[in-house]
Chains A and B, each alone.
Chain A
Amino acid sequence: MTIQSQAVDPGVPPPVVAPGPAQSQTLIKIENLKTYYPIRAGLLRRVVGNVRAVDDVSFEIRKGEVFGLVGESGCGKTTLGRTLLRLEKPTSGKADFDGTDLLKLQGRELKAMRRRMQIIFQDPVGSLNPRMPVSDLIGEGLLAQATPENGWGQRKTRDKRIGDYLEEVGLRREYSRRYPHEFSGGQRQRIGIARALALNPEFIFADEPVSALDVSIQSQVLNLLADLRERFNLTFLFVAHNLSVVQYISDRVGVMYLGKVVELADVTELYAHPRHPYTVALLSAVPDPDPRVRKRHLVLKGDVPSPANPPSGCRFHTRCWLREQLGNPENCVAEEPLVRDIGAGHLVACHHAEKISDNVAREAVQGSIQVGEQARSPELAPIIAPDEVPGQDLDSPPPLSSEPGYDAPPAV
């Protein structure tokens, strides 16, 4: 079944799927993973229900790719990553890492595996112990994973490695003696990245690594992550709620809603041809910094329902705009949609995904440029001499401040 055969508007060219690394190896294969948190109540603290944070999720992460995972708070994206790293206890399911089931590992084997999988946390303040100097913050993991072969148990080797990785993330070696409060937010996030990298991992779970940073610092850290990925051949699970950031850095993207992956595709395919009504609404809600762009906003009603008591059938049906347009078909409420392939590895879990045309998606996601046609000025706009501005009397330029040592400005 392909989109083209059922698309509402046949005039639109078929979606082009970038020749993704389909042949490349799988690093992590997740099958029917569930992570539930029990809700206890009453005198005996009996389990009266479950918060289904991750509910029957299956997908693969390929070697060397950045797999982006998006969704709103509480959709289970962080729990999913933490379960893979065995920081949360899975309820059931399988997760294969390079041939070993992560969820069954114990003791020594688990510890050895932990070196290969690292995490970068969201909060650059809360994730660094304020009483530890940087050398201890990074060295702690090295010490825990020390073996006779790697020699991390020896102070000298360890210190060298700490210095090397500080430089790798753009900080100075000498900083290893400083404490977290001496650094800015962006620098702290770099320390967090150095800590993950120092263990020479193959896989990094980046949990909202740039969300707490200002825009100008965010781009520095994104550039750093992109560099390191290439240099160290890393595979990333990149979780974020900022859809532009995910689009920029990811190769493939999964969209989660209430514990389920509802859509998964190559990044260009997903952003150009979203086929799940939730994905379309999510993308249409992102404000565009270009003031000429007019988007069709699909405003979702209400809030995300509780994951302790998710709606029947399709979990999105209570807020779905497509269901309303189609006259509230019965199967949305009655039947849970299965994840299906609508062509070239584009997975979607919606009964009516084919009803979303490329036109609707384009209007909602990209919008159209309506105000003026000139492009954003590629350089700073040419400077108009102020006396050419009509109605302005600026013949006498503002006086330069009389800082000591300041000479008259150079003649131009």
Chain B
Amino acid sequence: MTETVAAPEEAPEPVRRAGVGDVLLDVQDLRTYFHVMDGTVKAVDGVSFSIRKGGRLALVGESGCGKSVTALSIMRLIETPPGEFAGGKILFEGTDLLTMDDRHIRKVRGGEIAMIFQEPMTSLNPVMTVGDQIMEAILIHQGVNKKGAQEIALKALQDVGVADPKRRLKQYPHELSGGMRQRIMIAMALSCNPKLIIADEATTALDVTIQRQILELIKAIQERTGAALLLITHDLGVVAETVDDVAVMYAGRVVETGTVEEVLLHPRMPYTRGLLESIPSQGKRGQRLSAIKGTVPNPFRLPPGCKFEPRCPFGWETCVESEPELITIGRDRSARCWLNDKRFAGRLASYSAPPATEPR
């Protein structure tokens, strides 16, 4: 057996892969607020991005930046109240998911859009067998009888590389390892042939060798089925290896978009750059890591201007006073930073001091 050793990857893919077509999901200026006792948390406040059919996009950001709430909004899994969709649209194949009635959204959720969650233990029902859980969605969405559903479930388990799928169908989640549970989650997500797969930190809780297995699996399946992928993660390494396009989020906003190469090699927003620079590596041994100073702002007391300004090594008065829009830099390339505004074009040159030093 030689499959264990993956063949070295071939020549780099073109920026746009063949077969990637029209816009499948178009999130426009989404605002998801939560009304809680202490006030209103604007968890998502003006998020826009789109994914083409068969495309692969990552939403990147640190905890609390609103990336998971964005995903749950797409699935309409936000409880209202306390949640509220305060504005924007989520167009899926041209239809706004936010105004869709409950009966129709149930068809989309799990059928057309499937989600793989972070915690494979808590997102599986501990008192239902694996088989019943996979078949539940198939029975709802595909109009087959129990026997047909079981066949589809077996096939789905085979597709995600589960050995001895017949036995697995009768097992309970606690009998399975973390990697196996995540495979079950993926099998459930795939069983209804979704057009869009949302993977919310799907590999974060896994060990690195198991993460590798699951990443390779998600990539292979995505390529085989042609489904679009929305990957939600905080790991820039996973981003670089898995997707074509990136949207970086900070404090409920998208702050930078572009292809993986552009964003990770030539960040145009100081936050993205700070994230990249703070990753420890061999070359930085013996040096201080450049850290982003301070912490993520309190959602109840967001600064009036650019939300990143208090931590930004480049900020000036304009940034304190007014918040930039997502400034278009090129095709599908934008950044929410005044440095990209041509009126401030000379600005960057005047900063000679080393950026991003942390407080002691």
Shortest beta-carbon distance, B344 to chain A, in Å?
Answer: 6
Residue-wise, chain B 347-360 has the 8 Å CB interface mask toward A (1 for contact) of 11000000000111
A253 at the A/B interface (Cβ < 8 Å)? no
- Return the 8 tightest CB-CB contacts between A and B, nearest first: A287-B237, A248-B280, A219-B278, A285-B212, A219-B291, A72-B207, A216-B292, A219-B289
A342 to B209, CA, bound (A): 26
Q: Which of B8, B63, B266 contacts A296 (CB 8 A)?
A: B8
Q: Which of A222, A296, A380, A400 contacts B273 (CB 8 A)?
A: A380
Determine whether the beta carbon of A291 is less than 8 Å from that of B210. Answer: no
Determine whether the beta carbon of B261 is less than 8 Å from that of A412. Answer: no
Determine whether the beta carbon of A214 is less than 8 Å from that of B267. Answer: no
Chain A hits for B275, CB < 8 A? 215-216
Q: In the complex, which residues 252-282 of chain A have their Cβ closer than 8 Å to any Cβ of chain B? A: 267-268, 271, 281-282
Write the chain A residue with the least CB distance to B344: A412
Write the chain B residue with the least CB distance to A278: B209
B122 at the A/B interface (Cβ < 8 Å)? no
Q: A72-B209, A215-B236, A410-B318 are in contact. List 11 more A-B contacts (CB 8 A).
A: A220-B291, A247-B280, A291-B264, A292-B265, A296-B6, A303-B179, A380-B314, A391-B331, A392-B330, A406-B321, A406-B322
Determine whether the beta carbon of A222 is less than 8 Å from that of B215. Answer: no
B4 at the A/B interface (Cβ < 8 Å)? yes
Chain A hits for B159, CB < 8 A? none
Shortest beta-carbon distance, B234 to chain A, in Å?
Answer: 7
Q: Could you jot down 18 A-B contacts, CB within 8 Å? A: A215-B236, A219-B279, A247-B285, A248-B284, A248-B289, A289-B237, A291-B265, A292-B265, A298-B4, A299-B6, A324-B1, A376-B276, A392-B330, A394-B328, A397-B342, A400-B322, A411-B343, A412-B343
Write the chain B residue with the least CB distance to A395: B342
Chain A hits for B346, CB < 8 A? 412
Q: In the complex, which residues 34-79 of chain B have their Cβ closer than 8 Å to any Cβ of chain A? A: 62-63
Q: Which of B239, B322, B330, B343 contacts A389 (CB 8 A)?
A: B330
Chain A hits for B123, CB < 8 A? none
Q: In the complex, which residues 375-401 of chain A have their Cβ closer than 8 Å to any Cβ of chain B? A: 376-377, 379-387, 389, 391-392, 394, 397-398, 400-401
Chain B hits for A73, CB < 8 A? 207
Shortest beta-carbon distance, A12 to chain B, in Å?
Answer: 18
A96 to B359, CA, bound (A): 39
A309 at the A/B interface (Cβ < 8 Å)? no
A82 at the A/B interface (Cβ < 8 Å)? no
Q: In the complex, which residues 215-249 of chain A have their Cβ closer than 8 Å to any Cβ of chain B? A: 215-220, 222-223, 226-227, 241, 243-245, 247-249
B252 at the A/B interface (Cβ < 8 Å)? no
Shortest beta-carbon distance, B160 to chain A, in Å?
Answer: 14
Residue-wise, chain B 202-238 has the 8 Å CB interface mask toward A (1 for contact) of 0000011111110110000000000000000011111
The answer to whether A215 and B208 touch (CB under 8 A), given A288-B241, A291-B265, A406-B321, is no
Shortest beta-carbon distance, A364 to chain B, in Å?
Answer: 9
A290 to B267, CA, bound (A): 12
Chain B hits for A247, CB < 8 A? 280-282, 285
Q: Which of A284, A304, A372, A385 contacts B342 (CB 8 A)?
A: A385
Determine whether the beta carbon of B345 is less than 8 Å from that of A214. Answer: no
The answer to whether A244 and B281 touch (CB under 8 A), given A226-B288, A289-B239, A363-B8, is yes
Write the chain B residue with the least CB distance to A386: B342
Binding site for B on A (CB under 8 A): 72-73, 170, 184, 186-187, 214-220, 222-223, 226-227, 241, 243-245, 247-249, 267-268, 271, 281-282, 284-294, 296-301, 303-304, 321, 324-325, 363, 370-372, 374, 376-377, 379-387, 389, 391-392, 394, 397-398, 400-401, 403, 405-406, 409-412
Chain B hits for A297, CB < 8 A? 6, 212, 216
Write the chain B residue with the least CB distance to A381: B266
Shortest beta-carbon distance, A221 to chain B, in Å?
Answer: 9
Determine whether the beta carbon of B12 is less than 8 Å from that of A370. Answer: yes
Determine whether the beta carbon of B177 is less than 8 Å from that of A303. Answer: yes
Write the chain B residue with the least CB distance to A250: B285
Determine whether the beta carbon of B279 is less than 8 Å from that of A300. Answer: no
The answer to whether A401 and B4 touch (CB under 8 A), given A72-B209, A292-B265, is no
B5 at the A/B interface (Cβ < 8 Å)? yes
Determine whether the beta carbon of B281 is less than 8 Å from that of A248. Answer: yes
Chain B interface category by residue count:
35 or more
A247 to B289, CA, bound (A): 13
The answer to whether A282 and B213 touch (CB under 8 A), given A215-B62, A249-B280, is no
B304 at the A/B interface (Cβ < 8 Å)? yes
Interface centre among A227, A289, A299, A377 (most CB of B within 10 A): A289
Write the chain A residue with the least CB distance to B358: A220
Determine whether the beta carbon of A370 is less than 8 Å from that of B11. Answer: yes
Write the chain A residue with the least CB distance to B325: A398
Determine whether the beta carbon of B268 is less than 8 Å from that of A291. Answer: no
Chain B hits for A411, CB < 8 A? 343
Determine whether the beta carbon of A286 is less than 8 Å from that of B237. Answer: yes
A225 to B344, CA, bound (A): 38
Q: Which of B9, B215, B288, B295 contacts A223 (CB 8 A)?
A: B288
Determine whether the beta carbon of A376 is less than 8 Å from that of B265. Answer: yes
Chain A hits for B99, CB < 8 A? none
Shortest beta-carbon distance, B292 to chain A, in Å?
Answer: 4
Chain A hits for B268, CB < 8 A? 380-381, 383
A240 to B273, CA, bound (A): 25
B340 at the A/B interface (Cβ < 8 Å)? yes
Determine whether the beta carbon of A216 is less than 8 Å from that of B62. Answer: yes
